[in-house]
């Protein structure tokens, strides 16, 4: 049975987010990216395209081509937040989806036609994302990820396109080979040197020939050019554990310092749990001695995310573990066996004051976030210089790192 795969891609994502927060940028040429000497264009508005600007180009070059453009240094945190809003809407609408990058998603709508009509679902989802997030988005629908991604590219900006089953090959045929995902500059040059400019030429070549020229990749490329692609949707995962470890600048024998470090890491991780609405039931501590001998010990406990339960466990494990006179190179903490749940449910044994205290602390942490070195303002660890992993976003939502989507704006 044919699959039905939807690809969604936010249009000029970083630019759109900047415009959402500053409407003066509307209808103007805008470049977002690194502003230093070696900065690269991460996103460029459609107004810059007639000047020959494209994402992935050096900012220096883009600035020369389009001097009137407003140049904005990107704000990763703001983009992550907007991306999460869109992820949430998609999660509420479709049964399974993959987050391919910060602004790009795949969803498997196979079998939905029985109930709703996958094309209708796709177009309504696109409209809903636009309406609720305020960000323009385009989508493509077909029997595979590759063809849907190309269809999205053709639909842009702010539109949708459906490729019927059986029409994949003829849809791709007239396109430039670079439209196929995976044809980078190097592959393009090999193909160009052979006189291959359009997908149709690849379609007409024997698959063995592509294999001889480009190896395994050539065969994959031939399949893609023919609209053949079985790659599955990789569901948006949740993390099963979180950890933090720290190598001392200089090996140490200072037990007090090690305990402080572990305590601060435990506090950071417990905050991460609460922030991600998670509980752990397994705590583990690791020590690496200066001879690189590494030992660890773990303990199973009732599900919790409370500092006052977790920290004593960490300290107890450390005391059991640390039994050599040798200097210590690294210490680490890991929380595993995570489940979704609010910390209230396991805190029935705690006073209301204590519960309120955690809520108040986390509220302030969330509100004031991190300082310019990425440390949580309120984290105890800040005082001894332990970076707070919260500054890297919520570790539980499977967000891919913020990578500019060069190929598909």
**Which residue, 103 or 267, has its beta carbon nearer to Mg ion?**
103
CB of 14 to Mg ion, least distance (A): 9
d(CA 285, CA 311): 11
Alpha-helical runs (H) found in 46-174: 59-65, 76-93, 118-133, 145-155, 168-172
CB of 408 to Mg ion, least distance (A): 6
CB of 137 to Mg ion, least distance (A): 8
| Residue 254 assigned ligand-binding role | no
Q: Is 103 a residue that touches Mg ion (CB under 5 A)?
A: yes
Q: Token digits for 224?
A: 């893609």
CB of 165 to Mg ion, least distance (A): 26
Site for Mg ion in 320-349 (CB under 5 A): none
Q: Token digits for 354?
A: 């204590």
Piece of the chain touching Mg ion by CB under 5 A; list 3-11, 190-198, 343-351, 379-387:
3-11
Piece of the chain touching Mg ion by CB under 5 A; list 71-79, 103-111, 308-316, 381-389:
103-111
Piece of the chain touching Mg ion by CB under 5 A; list 8-16, 70-78, 271-279, 375-383:
8-16
Tell me the per-residue interface mask from 378 to 407 with Mg ion, x by CB under 5 A, - otherwise.
---------------------------x--
**Which residue, 82 or 307, has its beta carbon nearer to Mg ion?**
82
d(CA 144, CA 118): 14
**Which residue, 13 or 358, has its beta carbon nearer to Mg ion?**
13
d(CA 355, CA 363): 12
| Residue 9 assigned ligand-binding role | yes
Piece of the chain touching Mg ion by CB under 5 A; list 6-14, 166-174, 217-225, 241-249:
6-14
**Which residue, 13 or 222, has its beta carbon nearer to Mg ion?**
13
Q: By CB neighbour count within 10 A (0-12 exposed, 13-18 middle, 19+ buried), where does 217 fall?
A: middle
Piece of the chain touching Mg ion by CB under 5 A; list 82-90, 96-104, 161-169, 396-404:
96-104
Q: Token digits for 395?
A: 């570790």
Q: Looking at 9, 18, 47, 98, which residue binds Mg ion (CB under 5 A)? A: 9
**Which residue of the set 18, 104, 168, 267 is catalytic?**
104
Q: Is 18 a residue that touches Mg ion (CB under 5 A)?
A: no
C-alpha distances in Å from residue 253, one per residue of 207, 256, 284, 291, 329: 63, 9, 21, 13, 9
C-alpha distances in Å from residue 392, one per residue of 25, 78, 80, 362, 397: 28, 12, 10, 16, 12
Q: Is 104 a catalytic residue?
A: yes
* Residue whose C-beta lies closest to Mg ion: 103
**Which residue, 56 or 341, has its beta carbon nearer to Mg ion?**
56
d(CA 60, CA 46): 18
Structural contact between residues 173 and 186, judged by C-beta atoms closer than 8 angstroms: no
CB of 373 to Mg ion, least distance (A): 31
Terminal-to-terminal C-alpha distance of the chain: 32
CB of 72 to Mg ion, least distance (A): 16
List b or e across 21-60, with b for residues whose CB sees 16 or more CB atoms inside 10 angstroms.
eeeebeeebbbbbbeeeebbbbbbbbbbeebebbbebebe
d(CA 301, CA 309): 9
- Give how many residues touch Mg ion by CB under 5 A: 5
d(CA 284, CA 178): 49
**Which residue, 103 or 307, has its beta carbon nearer to Mg ion?**
103
**Which residue, 13 or 105, has its beta carbon nearer to Mg ion?**
13
CB of 112 to Mg ion, least distance (A): 24
d(CA 168, CA 171): 5
Site for Mg ion in 159-198 (CB under 5 A): none
Which segments are annotated as binding site?
A: 9, 103
Catalytic residues: 104
Binding site for Mg ion (CB under 5 A): 9-10, 13, 103, 405
Which segments are annotated as binding site for Mg(2+)?
A: 9, 103
């Amino acid at each position: 049975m044919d699959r039905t795969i939807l690809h969604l891609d936010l249009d000029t994502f970083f630019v759109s987010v900047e415009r959402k927060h500053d409407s003066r940028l509307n209808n103007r040429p805008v470049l977002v990216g690194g502003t230093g000497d070696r900065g690269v264009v991460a996103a460029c508005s459609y107004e810059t395209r007639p000047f020959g600007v494209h994402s992935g180009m050096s900012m220096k070059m883009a600035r020369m081509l389009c001097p009137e453009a407003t140049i904005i240094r990107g704000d990763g945190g703001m983009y992550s937040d907007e991306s999460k809003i869109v992820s949430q809407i998609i999660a509420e609408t479709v049964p399974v989806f993959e987050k391919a990058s910060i602004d790009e998603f795949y969803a498997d709508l196979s079998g939905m036609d029985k109930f709703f009509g996958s094309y209708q679902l796709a177009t309504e989802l696109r409209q809903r994302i636009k309406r609720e997030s305020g960000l323009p988005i385009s989508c493509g629908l077909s029997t595979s990820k590759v063809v849907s991604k190309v269809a999205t590219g053709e639909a842009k900006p702010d539109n949708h396109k459906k490729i019927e089953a059986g029409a994949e090959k003829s849809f791709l045929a007239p396109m430039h080979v670079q439209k196929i995902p995976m044809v980078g500059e190097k592959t393009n040059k090999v193909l160009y040197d052979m006189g291959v400019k359009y997908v149709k030429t690849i379609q007409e070549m024997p698959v063995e020939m592509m294999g001889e020229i480009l190896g395994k990749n050539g065969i994959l490329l031939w399949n893609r050019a023919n609209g053949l692609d079985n790659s599955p949707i990789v569901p948006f995962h949740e993390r099963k554990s979180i950890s933090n470890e720290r190598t001392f600048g200089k090996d140490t024998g200072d037990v007090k310092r090690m305990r402080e470090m572990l305590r601060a890491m435990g506090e950071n991780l417990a905050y991460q749990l609460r922030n991600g609405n998670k509980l752990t039931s397994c705590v583990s501590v690791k020590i690496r001695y200066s001879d690189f001998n590494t030992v660890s010990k773990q303990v199973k406990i009732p599900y919790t995310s409370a500092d006052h339960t977790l920290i004593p466990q960490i300290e107890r494990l450390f005391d059991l573990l640390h039994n050599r006179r040798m200097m210590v190179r690294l210490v680490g903490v890991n929380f595993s066996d995570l489940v979704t749940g609010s910390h209230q449910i396991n805190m029935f044994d705690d006073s209301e004051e204590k519960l309120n205290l955690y809520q108040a602390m986390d509220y302030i942490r969330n509100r004031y976030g991190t300082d310019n070195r990425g440390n949580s303002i309120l984290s105890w660890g800040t005082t001894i210089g332990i970076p707070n992993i919260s500054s890297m976003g919520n570790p539980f939502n499977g967000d891919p790192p913020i990578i500019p989507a060069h190929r598909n704006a």
